[in-house]
Structure 1
Amino acid sequence: MYRLYGNSGMANLAPHMALETIGAPYEMVRVDTASKEHQGATYLRLNPTGRVPVLVDGEQPIFETAAILLHLADRHPDAGLMPPVGTVERGLAYQWLIHLTNSVQVAYLAYYYPERQVADAALADSVRQAAEVRAGELFDLLDKALAGRDWLTADRPGIVDFMLLMLTRWGRNFAGRPPRLLPNIGTHAARTAALPAVIRAFEQEGLTQPWY
């Protein structure tokens, strides 16, 4: 049985959607980040970076959201969470998953933790504003990629779509333009959030509407 460590609405949300879609037995283990449980010795033995999430498969912990998603897709190919190996669609799935992780998620890191990006705390607000602009540019690109498509890389929802919904949600409180206001991103978010497995994951994490 899998164990997924995380907290409500954090980076564990996309793997949680995947686990619900797969239907394999798992346990959701809450990590109290407010009390810095993720920085304690017990958790650091699972993930030395001190971040959530961690997936424990048997006795092996795996961290990094994208790695967890890929592992689950590979372990359960019948769930169809990734296009077949060796196809162009598979390559595009890798492309967008890495883009979401290396570009969009990095912009969010600067947006939510701007003080980590500067030595002078007085500059933090400027960093946050720039990060929101950058995230908007990245979502513009994703919106174009979704034109005429229901899902980002295949003819059925998969791990890339779960990751995109999670990151769309994270921008719901942008002061300027939340991602959901982009026509294709908004439609994709609504379509993905209506999936029964996704509804279960959101509800189990205690997340209330509006989800994105």
Structure 2
Amino acid sequence: MLALYYSPGLASLVPHMMLREAGAAFELRFIDRDNDAHKGEEYRKLNPNGRIPLLVDGDLVVFETAAIALHIADKFPASGLAPAVGSPERAEFYKWMIHLTNTPQPEYRAWFYPHEHVIDQTAAATVKEAAGQRLNGMFDLISEQLGDKTWLLGDQFSAADLFLFMLIRWSRNMPRPARTIPNLNALVERVLARPAVQETLKVEGLAAPFI
């Protein structure tokens, strides 16, 4: 049995949506982040980094959101969450997954937790502002590359769209939410229309309005 350690709205949202898209049998294990359960000894035995999410698949323990997402896509190939291995489309999928996890996602750490990036706490506001500006530029570039395509891979929906959906959602309280960009908002609406996504949001208690 698969077990996903999660906290509502965090990076665990991607594998949670993917597991429901795949129709997988899995167990959700809530991590009370507000009470620092992710920093506790029991959780750190599984993930020494103390970060969420974590996936347990039998004797296999996987952490890092993108790694979990790729494992789920490979474990459930019939789900269509990723193109066929070895295809040009698969390379495009890898490109987007690595870009999203390596480029915009880390900037949110600086946006939400600027105090972690400074020694002089009076500089935290500047760190946050700079991260917000970088995120704006990143979403502009993603918008340009998406263009008028339905999904990041063109006509084919993939886990990369779920990943982008999550990152767009995280910007909802920023001065310029990514969803104000028309084609990114259109992609969000398409993702929101998927039953598996709606079920995930319901289970995690992420109620409307989305932004």
Normalising by the smaller structure, the TM-score range is over 0.9
Partner of 2:49: 49
> 1:154 Cα shift?
4.5
**Equivalence for 2:101:** 101
Aligned CA-pair RMSD? 0.9
Aligned residue runs from structure 1 range 167-182, under 5 A: 167-175=167-175, 177-182=176-181
- Counterpart of 1:79 in structure 2 is 79
Give yes or no for contact 1:7–1:33 (8 Å, CA) kept in 2: yes
Tell whether the 8 Å contact from 1:157 to 1:192 is kept in structure 2 after alignment. no
- Residue type at the aligned position of 1:190: E
Letter matched to residue 72 of structure 1: I
Deviation at residue 211 of structure 1 after TM alignment: 2.1
Whole-Å separation in 2 of the counterparts to 1:92 and 1:100: 12
Q: Compute the displacement of 1:38 (Å).
A: 0.5
| Residue matched to 1:20 | 20
Partner of 2:159: 159
The TM-score, its normalising length taken from structure 2, stands at 0.97
Q: Deviations over 1:157-203 (max 9, x none)?
A: 2110110000000000002x100001111100111011000000111
- Gap change, CA 1:27 and 1:66, over 3 Å in 2: same
> How far apart in 1 are the matches of 2:168 and 2:62?
24
Code of the residue aligned with 1:40 in structure 2: it is G
Residue of structure 1 equivalent to 2:59: 59
Is the Cα–Cα contact under 8 Å of residues 83 and 154 in structure 1 kept in the other structure? no
TM-superposed deviation, 1:22 = 0.4
What SS does structure 2 have at the residue aligned with 1:209?
A: coil
How far the C-alpha of 1:32 sits from its partner, in A, is 0.4
Letter in 2 for 1:13: L
Q: Which moved more, 1:143-152 or 1:164-173?
A: 143-152
Counterpart amino acid of residue 204 in structure 1: V
In 1, distance between residues paired with 2:67 and 2:160? Answer: 12
> Which residue does the alignment assign to 1:211?
210
The alpha carbon displacement at 1:155 in A equals: 2.4
- The answer to whether the Cα contact below 8 Å between 1:107 and 1:134 also exists between their aligned partners in 2 is yes
TM-score where L is the length of structure 1 = 0.97
Equivalent pair of 1:144/1:184 in contact (CA under 8 Å) = no
In the aligned structure 2, how far is the partner of 1:88 from the partner of 1:210? 37
Offset of residue 210 of structure 1: 1.9
Q: Percent identity?
A: 44
- The CA distance in 1 between the partners of 2:86 and 2:39, in whole Å, is 39
Gaps of 5+ in 1: none
